Amino acid sequence: MSESETENRIPPKKARSRSRMSIDDKTNKTLKDLDVKTPEAIGELFAELSLALDSERQHLIGEGASDDHERAQKVKALRDRWLARKGGQVSLIDENWLKKAPKELKPTVGRAFNQLRQQSASVETEQLLQDVPIRGSATAHPETTKAEFGVGRPSVDITLPGYRRPLGSIHPVTRVMREIEDIFLGLGFSIESGPEVESVYYSFDALNIPESHPARDEWDTLYVNSETVLRPHTSPVQIRAMKKHGAPLYILCPGKAYRHDNPDSTHATMFHQVEGLAVDTDITFADLKGTLEYFAKKFFGDKIKTNFSPSFFPFTEPSGELVISCVFCGGEGCRVCKESGWVEVMGCGMVHPEVLRHGGIDPERYSGWAFGLGVERFAMMKYDINDIQLFHQGDVRFLEQF
Ligand code: PHE
C-alpha cells in the first residue's frame, strides 16, 4: 500500500480534528489556521460547506412552519445565517478564506467560493418562502402534500384554480410573414417552401449567377460542402417551383436565409425572406408594378406612395427596387430615410429568360416577375424597431409586446 493511500485511510490527527469542528468554527478561521494547503483540501472543505448548506435548507423544508409568521422567522434565520453581510457564512468565507488565501491558492478558492455563492441563492428569502411549506395548508410544497395525504389529513383544497402558465404570443417575424402571406393568398398565390440547406446549383447557377460572376460574392455564403450551401436567399425556390408545377405559376415562398454578414443593427447571419413569383402568358412589368403597389399599400397603409428604381439582379431583367415613401417621416426626410423621404424595401424584376429555361419553362411562351423581401426589415418598419438582433434574442420583454 502506498503512503498516500495510508494517509487516506487514517487521517492525520490535525485533519481529523479539523473535520470534527463545526462549520462555524471553520469559517471563523483562516485556511492557514485550518492547515488547508492543497487544492484537494480546499475542495473537501467547500464540499462540506455545500452539504451543510443543502442539509440545513432541506431540514427547514422538511420541518415546514405552522403559519406565515413562523415561516417568515425561520426563513429569515436561515437566510441570515448564510447570507447576512456581517457574520453570514458566505461573507465569513470571503473574509477569512478567500481574502486571506495565499496567492497560489486564490484561484482555486475563488472558483469554489463562486460555486458556493451561487448555491447559496437557494436560501434567499423569496426562494425559501416558496420552498418552505406551511403545515396543513393548501399551498403546501408538493412533497409535503403527498406525505400529508398519506396520513389522511385534508390538506389540499382541490377547488383552488391551478397554476397559470404565462401565455406566449406570436413572434413578430411570424406575424409579419403571415400578414404578407394573407395579402398574396387573397390575390390567388399559393405558398411554396424549399430546403434551407440548398445546392449550389439552385442557389446560384440556375439563377443565372455563374461561378465567375461578381454578383455571386454578395450571396457567397456558408458552404456545407463544395456543392451545398445554407441558402443565401429564397430565390432557389423559384426554380424548384417552376420545375415542380410548370406554368402558369403564382407562388409565395416565406423562409429563412443565411449570409456571411457581420451582425449589427441591420444585419444578421440568419434572417427571413418572402419570395414572390408569377409566371404566365403575357405577364408584363405593369403587372409587377400593379401587384407590388397594391401589396405595399395593404401592408403599410394607403397613405404611402410607391416608386420603382432601377437595380441589378442576375436572375431578373430588367431589375428594380420597390421604393416607398418613408413610413417614419411620411416623406419629409429623416434619419431613417437619410433625408431622402424614400426607402428601398425589396428587390424585384422580370424573370430572366435563362432562369425560366432552367425551371423548364419556355421563355418564348411565358414571362414572369419576381420579388424578394426581408421580413425582419418589414417588421422593423411596421413596428418602429431599430435593431434586427432583437428578433433573434428571445427576450420576452421584447416579444411580449406583440
Ligand atoms: N434574391 C434577392 C435577394 O436576396 C431578392 C430578389 C428576389 C430580387 C427576386 C429580385 C427578384 O436580394
Instruction: Supply the residue whose CA is at minimum distance from atom 10 of ligand 1.
Output: 348
Please state the atom number of ligand 1 nearest to the C-alpha of residue 372.
7
- CA of 372 relative to ligand 1 center, distance in Å: 4
Gap from CA of 371 to ligand 1 centroid (Å) = 6
Q: What is the pLDDT of residue 9?
A: 47
Residue 305 Cα to ligand 1 midpoint, Å, equals: 22
**The amino acid at 37:** K
Considering only CA atoms, which of 30, 33, 34 is closest in space to residue 15?
34
Rounded Cα gap, residues 249 and 309, in angstroms: 26
**CA dihedral in degrees (266, 267, 271, 276; nearest 10)?**
70
Residue type, 359: G
Residue of 234, 235, 316, 344 with the most ligand 1 atoms within 8 Å of its CB, for mutation: 235
Q: Whats the size of the chain, residue-wise?
A: 402
Domain boundaries, the chain: 3-132, 172-399
On the 0-12 / 13-18 / 19+ scale of CB atoms within 10 A, 250 is: buried
Chain mean position to CA 53? 34
* Superfamily grouping for domain 172-399: Bira Bifunctional Protein; Domain 2 (3.30.930.10)
Rounded CA separation 233/219 (Å): 8
Residue 238 CB–ligand 1 contact under 6 Å = no
* Alpha helices (runs of H) in 214-345, residue ranges in sequence order: 216-219, 236-245, 285-300
Torsion of CA 137, 138, 144, 147, to 10 degrees: 100
Closest C-alpha among 93, 72, 126, 71 to residue 26: 93
Cβ of residue 347 lying under 6 Å from some atom of ligand 1: yes
Q: 270 with 257: CB under 8 angstroms?
A: yes
pLDDT of residue 152: 54
**Cβ of 276 below 6 Å from ligand 1:** no
> What are φ and ψ of residue 257, in 5° steps?
-135, 155
Q: Is 231 close to ligand 1, i.e. is its CB under 6 Å away? A: no
* Ligand 1 atom with minimal separation from the 207 CA: 1
Q: Going by C-beta distance under 8 Å and a sequence separation of 6 or more, which residues neighbour residue 231?
A: 194, 195, 196, 197, 198, 202, 203, 221, 257, 258
- Residue 280 pairs with which residues in a beta bridge? 367
Give me the pLDDT at residue 251, please.
98
- At 222, list the grid cell: 456558408
Q: Which residue has the cell 391551478?
A: 162
- Cβ–Cβ under 8 Å, residues 41 and 99: no
Take atom 7 of ligand 1 and give the residue whose Cα is closest: 372
Question: Is any ligand 1 atom within 6 A of the Cβ of residue 204?
Answer: no
Three-class SS state of 223:
strand
**Which residues in 318-349 are b (16+ Cβ under 10 Å) and which e?**
ebbbbbbbbbeeebeeeebbeeebbbbbbbbb
Q: Does residue 349 line the site of ligand 1, with CB under 6 A? A: yes
Mean pLDDT by 10 residues, the chain (402 residues): 44 49 90 92 91 91 89 93 93 93 91 91 89 72 49 71 82 97 98 97 95 81 91 97 97 96 93 98 97 97 95 97 93 89 96 98 98 97 94 92 88
CA distances from 146 to 15, 48, 79, 136, 203 (A): 42, 30, 26, 11, 60
According to DSSP, residue 134 is labeled: B
Q: Any bridge partners for residue 98, and if so which?
A: none
Exposure string over 274-310, b if 16+ CB within 10 A, otherwise e: bbbbbbeeebeeebbbebbbebbbbbbeeebebebee
CA distance 64 to 81: 18
Distance (angstroms) between ligand 1 centre and the Cα of 314 equals 9
